[in-house]
Amino acid sequence: MIIDCHTHLNRYTPDLPVTLPERHALLREEMAAHGVAYSLVLTSYDVTDERPSTRDVLAELDGDPTLGVVAGIRHAHLAADLPELREVLQAGRLKALKLYPGYEPFRLTDASLRPVYELAAEFGVPVMIHTGDTYDPCTHVRLAHPLDVDDVAVEHRETRLVMCHVGNPWLMDAAEVLYKNPNVFGDISGFTLGEFQPRFEKLMVGKLNDLVAYVNDPGKLMFGTDWPLSGVRGYLEFVRRLDLTDEERDGLLWRNAASVFGLAFEVRVETADDG
């Protein structure tokens, strides 16, 4: 069982299909090719022709049991968007909310975000938070430092928080936030663009092994790729190189995401009687 908790249907590069249905089909093909049973699709903080809105992604994925939707929060339009977010949450159509500090110029502790954390707690969904390096160089990574998540975790203990990219390159800062706060989890997505290069992969394997050893909790990390920015095949090979116990690997690949996002999955265990 594999759950990819961090994918997108944005058209980041010209080589990706132009239409949303084509990108949807491409993601399904990628999942099938690598044994991914379920993926979460995160919408953007910015809506353009190449970055579809949450409403458009929900419409496109309606009826697809292999994909769930995470609503990207547009901080610049938050007041206007909150009523629609509540409506969609009430309909049970969202698996999480997503904040993009760094990409948008705000601090996680800004008072304007209190309704987001409270809304997530009310409907029992996590808030995913971009942390660490950004795809766009014209952004402010200091706003995406993982230590800022600690402030939110302390002030909103009832809200589950997911540090996307576990704060890369500040993985040990993220490790402390994970270790300290029972309501904080991390995904390992987006460490690289495309496929891992050998020297960088060796570096990241070491850094993530250090994080795992420090946190020492098999329930904290979740598999994510950031597809189409990162390849699924390369990410699965990266996970195979990690120094994990069976419990940690099982949690990373699917069990933790199923718990954090409230996904109903069971693993069928074959016995000798199955033939």
Question: Domains of the chain: which residue ranges?
Answer: 3-274
Q: Which residue is listed with tokens 């990574």?
A: 141
The residues facing 162 across adjacent strands are: 128, 185
Strand residue runs (E) in the chain:
3-7, 38-42, 67-72, 96-99, 127-130, 161-164, 184-187, 221-222
What's the CA gap between 31 and 62, in Å, rounded? 18
Residue 129: per-residue pLDDT? 98
Residue 180 host element (H or E) = helix 171-180
Q: Order of strands across the sheet with 221-222?
A: 3-7, 38-42, 67-72, 96-99, 127-130, 161-164, 184-187, 221-222
Q: Distance between CA 143 and CA 131 in Å, rounded? A: 8
Tell me the two tokens of residue 212. Answer: 């795992």
- CATH code of 3-274, in short, is 3.20.20.140
Q: How far apart are CA 9 and CA 14, in angstroms?
A: 13
3-class DSSP state for residue 86?
Answer: helix
Res 100: pLDDT = 98
pLDDT of 264 reads 83
Cα–Cα distance, 220 to 24 (Å, whole number):
29
Give the phi and the psi of residue 141 in degrees, each rounded to 5: -70, -20
pTM for the model: 0.95
pLDDT at 265: 63
Given a cut of 50, the residues of the chain with pLDDT beneath it are 266-275
DSSP three-state, residue 238: helix
Confirm if 116 and 73 have CB atoms less than 8 A apart: yes
In the chain, % helix, strand, coil (3-state, to 5) comes to 45, 15, 40
Identify the pLDDT of residue 136. Answer: 87
Residues 6+ apart with CB under 8 A from 263: 3, 38, 68, 95, 257
